[in-house]
Every structure is written in C-alpha cells, then in structure tokens.
Amino acid sequence: MKAQIFSVSLPGCSIIPLPRFSSYVTPPNFASFSSTHNPSKNLPYGFHKPLIWVHKTTGWKSNCGGGGSLIVQCGSNEENDDGFYIRRCVELARKGVGYTSPNPMVGCVIVKDGKIVGEGFHPKAGQPHAEVFALRDAGDMAENATAYVSLEPCNHFGRTPPCTEALVKAKVKKVVVGMVDPNPIVASKGVDRLRNAGIEVVVGVEEDLCKRLNEAYIHRMLTGRPLLTLRYSLSVNGNLLDLLGDRVTDRNGYYSRLLQEYDAVVLSSSLFGEKLSIPASQEPGANQPSMIIMHKKHSSSNQIPLVINEATGKVIIFTDDITAANSEMTQRAIETVAVDTINLDVILDYCNRQGLCSVLLDMRGNFSEFEDLVKEGIKKRYINKFVTEILPVWNGRAETDPLMPLKSIEQGIKVVNLQSKASDQSIVFEGYLKF
C-alpha cells in the first residue's frame, strides 16, 4: 500500500502530516497522545502538563484529496494553562472536605518550566496553609516558578504566619489566584502585598469553580450565618417520607457524602429508638459532623435517647424542656442548650459562634417538629439549598407537611443550578433557592 503525504497550512498551528490509509487498513493508534479532556480527574502527583492536541479524522476532502487524517498541534494558550492548574488546585483542596472549618478549603500548585514541582492543600484548621505545603514540596525549585492557588493567600498572622511572606521568601515570580478571599481581614490585601513585592499576580481564573468549592465559607463571611441546606425525602407521587433509600448511607452514597461535607446536621429526637444510632459518614477518613438534636417539650419522645452514646461526632442537645438539661447529660459529657423556643435563629447563631460554615436540616422523624423551622427559613430567607431524595415508593399523604409553606407561596421561589443524580434506586435533586 502506498502512503500519500499531504500538508495544510493553518495560522498559529503546526501540522503533523500523516499518511492516508485505505479504509480497509487499521487506522493509526492515537492512544499515546495525551488528552486534555477532564484534566482535573485522576491526575497523579508530579504529572506533566499535556500538549493540546486536536484530532481531525473526517472532512477536509476538498483540501486533502478525501479520507485523510490530520493531527493539528496549536500553540499553548496561557489562559487555558492557568485554568488547568487552578482546577488541579481545586482537586487538591477537596481533600480537606469536612476538616477545615472555619477556614476555607484551599489547594496550591507550584509550576516551573511546564512541570509541577510542588503541591499542597490545607488539611485542617490550625495547620499550615496550602501554599506552605506546596512550597515545602517544591523546595529550591520554587524560585522563579509560578504558584497557583485556588484562594487568595492570606497576609495576616492568625494561628499560622502569612502565606504571602512564604511566597515572597521563596522568590516565586508569578502567582495565579482563583478568587479573592471575601474575609475582610484578607480581601485583596494578600494580592496587594505580592504585587508590592514585585510578583506578577493574576486574579479570577476559574473563579466560579473556586466559589462553588467554598460556597459555605463565602456565605458565612458575607452574611454572618452558616449555609443552610434542607434535606427531605419524597415518594414518586410527591408525598413526604420518613425514609432514606437503600445504600445511600453506605460509602459513596449521597447521604454518606453529605455527612462528610457538612459541619453540622440538625435532627429530631423523635427519629431515634433503641435500634437507631446517630448517623455517621462512611467515607474513608471522614470527619463526622456535629449532631444537633432537637428535643421539644411536647414531642412524642419524652426523654433524650440514650443511643447518642454511640455517636462518633460531637452531640449537642437543643431543648425547650429545662428538665431535660439534667445532670445525666452533664455526666455523659453531652452539651445541652436550653432555650425558650427552638428556632433557626438560635441554632444558626450557635453554629456561627462555633465556627461552623454549613448546616444540614435533615427532615426525618416527627415532621411537625420541622414545620415552624421551615416557615422561619422561608420567611427569613435562611434556607439556601435543598437536597431532595425521590424514592421508588408510592404512598399516601402525611398528616403533617412541613413543606406547605413552600407549596403555598403564590409566586413561588425560583430554583437555580438544579442538578440530579442517581444513588442506587433513588434519584437525588440538589438546587438553590433564589428569593
């Protein structure tokens, strides 16, 4: 078989010619070429930036004589490269899910001569920040390198020294920042410090992705309240269920992941019985959320369940029954908060003072205990997100429907960024309420 060689000229691109093969011959194997599709997934430590390849396997008949194949290699785009490394920063940052509050999740990558020479993420509040770990990883290679960081480096002394000083000391030549830190203590001061030190700074690369990563931290900084998410289950005919789907509490199930991601979960004491223990995330190494258990004076459960001894995370009892806040709770080292009325104001204020950024209002147990909380959440616009699990069940309507305040709003509430996913036999919807 004879191979016919051809070439084409495209502005800004170099063409690697390939022979034209008969349609009956096995085509060339492109497996050796690096792909840029979804570069943020499954990237090993120390990986190299792949070249940008564009494959053209059809068309070009008028120019190529028909049926030829081209590989077009275009020059790298600096803005696209910056996005690639910031996405890697976000991937690293997510390793701190559930551990960093009240701090944000942050990832950092040090790049020199097109190669990653250092990586790091913020593992836990009180420990060094992502930039410090990445610079340690890079060592002397950090000099004249570019540092990529998903959130603006801090420029103040807290429990750790300023990250800006570490970057200046390491003599990096450029810093690319995903987003400016909304914390008023930082708020562009880190960017200013770096620029004043003669370091080139680029801000706002993959900004939306970085904001989604730390939506709870950002919300708390801007409002003074934790991000509040309402979770509930429905049957396929739209009625409330006091159920969770099969295996959703197992590892990689959506509910197990929620418990890993949220700082606190609000539950009703009516949910617990002799055989039901405090829910816990099954994700490897998960930091268990604080469990806020509502115990109302006139609830069906007269006593705070003893099962809370099995909890792996911190347990806080909120009660309007003063007699419930007894010495037994003190002896068991369980914090009890006695209030006149259990409402979202007191719960969110408590969580904020504890440095918690996200709260999951898990509507299970006695639905009537959630009715006033949902009303308050809608009226005061406290509910920011919702997670709805649709189970493969057809059932009758519950006597009490805490969602009635939502259903009875004449003009309704706009839902934005609605997403759906399957979790075993259930369908899970997640979205944001836009008041």
Q: Map residue 112 onto helix, strand or coil.
A: strand
Alpha carbon 37 to its chain's center: 21
- On whether residue 34 sits in a domain, the answer given is no
Same domain, 347 and 315: yes
Same domain, 417 and 325: yes
Q: What are phi and psi of 279, to 5 degrees?
A: -65, 145
- On whether residue 243 sits in a domain, the answer given is yes
From CA 297, how far away is CA 254, in angstroms rounded? 32
- Contact yes or no for 342/212 (Cβ under 8 A): no
**End-of-domain residue from the set 183, 214, 245:** 214
Packing angle of the helix pair 78-93, 130-138 (nearest 10 deg)? 110
**End-of-domain residue from the set 189, 214, 239:** 214
Same domain, 176 and 233: no
Same domain, 241 and 210: no
Same domain, 258 and 393: yes
Contact partners, residue 302, CB within 8 Å, separation at least 6: none
**Which residues constitute the domain of residue 193?**
82-214
Distances (CA, A) of 385 to 71, 288, 417, 418, 434: 45, 21, 10, 10, 9
- On whether residue 123 sits in a domain, the answer given is yes
pLDDT at 408: 66
Q: What are phi and psi of 217, to 5 degrees?
A: -60, -45
pLDDT at 274: 55
pLDDT at 74: 42
From CA 219, how far away is CA 418, in angstroms rounded? 19
pLDDT at 265: 97
Q: Going from the first residue of the chain to its last (435 residues), give the mean pLDDT of each consecutive group of 10, the final group possibly shorter.
A: 42 41 34 34 33 32 38 44 96 96 96 97 94 97 98 83 94 98 90 96 97 97 97 93 94 96 94 73 93 79 54 82 62 80 97 96 91 93 97 80 69 89 94 93
From CA 161, how far away is CA 163, in angstroms rounded? 6
pLDDT at 15: 40
Place of tokens 């939506």: 215
Q: Catalytic residue numbers?
A: 131
Question: Helices in 103-244 by DSSP H: which ranges?
Answer: 130-138, 163-169, 189-196, 207-213, 215-223
Check the CA dihedral 88-89-92-94 and report its sign: negative
pLDDT at 403: 77
